[in-house]
Amino acid sequence: GGIGASWHAISKAKIDESKDYKWALRSVNSRGSAWGGNPPVSDTKAWSQIYNHAKWLGLNWIRVELSARMYEPEKGRFDWGNEEMMALYNILDWCEENNVDVFLQQMWSNVKWNSFPGVQPLLSAPKSIGDFATGISTLVSYLLKQKQYRCIKWICITNEPPGGNWGSWWSTGPEDALLTPALKAVREALDGQGIELPISAPDWTDLPVFDKNKIDFDEYIGAYDIHSYHGMDQEKQKILAEWAKWAKGKNKPMFLSEMGNMNLGWEGSNPGPKSFDAALSNLETILRGMDVGVHAFNRWSFTNRGDLDGQWQLIRTWDIENKKYLKKVVAEPAAYYGYGIITRFNAKNSKVIETTVNGSQDILCQTIESPSGELTIYILNKNDKEVHVGLQINGNNETGLYLYQVTEPVLKEKDFKLNPIKSYPQLKDKVITVQLPPKSISTLSQFNLNDDDSGIIVN
């Protein structure tokens, strides 16, 4: 498992909005904000800056997003060399080099040749499931066998299909298409090419109540994933727990493959998604998810234009006011540091250690242990007052901890650096006191990272 953020390869701005379609999506954010966040591939300096930010954040589980139009614009004609495919290779090359686990996500097909009559290609489910499966299996074969990417660990065949509380991009026109036949066909197509890459599904949104009667596709998938976009509280955690329990019973991992909190604002260039309140909400989602056995968490999103369905970006690549790409890629402080204080210390495949919190329900805490034994403790103070907590670690671990903290006022300071603010040299048989500022994120870790260090991706 791991923690990361969505990184799309889709850049083409235009979609077919012909009035001839009876069923169509015709808004600026018909594709959400899963496109346009990356500069042109030719701008190698900007891409280099993006790589550096990804490495600083220590993103180790990334949902990499594409569309079928990118690689198969016409039936049987595969295009491996266009701008968007080059962007995909840029992303996958970085993931390969840095040992990042990739959750490869086809967002939609968006090809006229395999659309239902009268249905816009973006909205349409594949008319021919067989051709759809052949296309995806050909893509996967090319990426795994020709390009030899080992970082790709899962494939998801469509984004947010009907089945949850909301769904789209999977329509026949008069009604929604079924998902299971497509999952079956893709599994068979992959098997036919000797590809064992597991499929993840159902990718439903938004935190749908678990209903085992809807799960008729388990035999075709190797992982479960859903999305959550309204934060996470005790009641929502119960829903997530049911999904995780089911997945565990099937001996399969459970992912939150998109997460955010639209209650804080979205649409247009609404700044809510990049706010510090959003950072607090994301940590609560992660902590509650860890508590019930979720294996990986993916924030929406890493690169994002910020003017389509809210400012979800961790880094700013797009000039919203002047509608052009920036030459200097910069961090969005509250979002960047509010997420980085989590991701930088989360080594890939860390395990969750039993953590007990006594006292205020406004304090949430979870502990992880890296594969080589380093502990990291995340503490969220939701209270608007300062809180002092006593922390006791049971066991034989004698290595000290380093404390990192972020608050909204601190992140407004010029030239903020995420350095340790305190160290606790010895832990054995001691209770250490930690001061938690109001509405704060605190990380105590045995990883000693200064701001100029890269995040811990693998350990």
Of 298, 300, 299, give the one whose Cα is nearest residue 254: 298
Over the stretch 109-150, which tens digit does the pLDDT of each residue have? 999 999 999 999 999 999 999 999 999 999 999 999 999 999
Structure-token pair, residue 107: 């967002």
- Rounded percentage of the chain residues whose pLDDT exceeds 70: 99
Mean pLDDT of 15-30: 90
Q: Which residues pair with 199 in a beta bridge?
A: 155
Mean pLDDT of 260-264: 98
Over the stretch 284-303, which tens digit does the pLDDT of each residue have? 999 999 999 999 999 999 99
Distance CA 10, CA 136 (A): 16
Tokens 């050909």 label which residue? Answer: 138
Q: How far from the centroid of its chain's Cα atoms is residue 39's Cα?
A: 20
Q: Please report which confidence band the pLDDT of residue 397 belongs to, taking 50, 70 and 90 as the band edges.
A: low
Over the stretch 189-234, which tens digit does the pLDDT of each residue have? 999 999 999 999 999 999 999 999 999 999 999 999 999 999 999 9
- Residue 430, pLDDT > 90, answer no
Q: Please report which confidence band the pLDDT of residue 393 belongs to, taking 50, 70 and 90 as the band edges.
A: confident
- Which amino acid, 351? K
Give SS3 for 176: strand
Of 124, 108, 132, 161, give the one whose Cα is nearest residue 18: 124
Over the stretch 38-95, which tens digit does the pLDDT of each residue have? 999 999 999 999 999 999 999 999 999 999 999 999 999 999 999 999 999 999 999 9
Over the stretch 103-120, which tens digit does the pLDDT of each residue have? 999 999 999 999 999 999
- Residue 182, pLDDT > 70, answer yes
Q: Please report which confidence band the pLDDT of residue 239 belongs to, taking 50, 70 and 90 as the band edges.
A: very high
Which residues 6+ apart lie within 8 Å of 356 measured at CB? none
Are 2 and 349 within 8 A, CB to CB? yes
Write the CATH number of the domain with boundaries 352-445: 2.60.40.1180
Domain residue spans of the chain = 2-343, 352-445
Distance CA 5, CA 63 (A): 7
- The pLDDT value given to residue 428: 67
The fold for domain 2-343 equals: TIM Barrel (3.20.20)
Of 384, 180, 354, 363, give the one whose Cα is nearest residue 276: 384
Are 307 and 269 within 8 A, CB to CB? yes
- Residue 396, pLDDT > 70, answer no
Within 13 A of 109's CA, how many CA atoms are on the CB side?
29
Distance CA 72, CA 91 (A): 19
Q: Output the CA–CA distances (angstroms, integers) from residue 319 to 214, 229, 305, 316, 326, in the order listed.
A: 43, 26, 8, 8, 6
- Residue 399, pLDDT > 90, answer no
Of 165, 293, 282, give the one whose Cα is nearest residue 232: 282
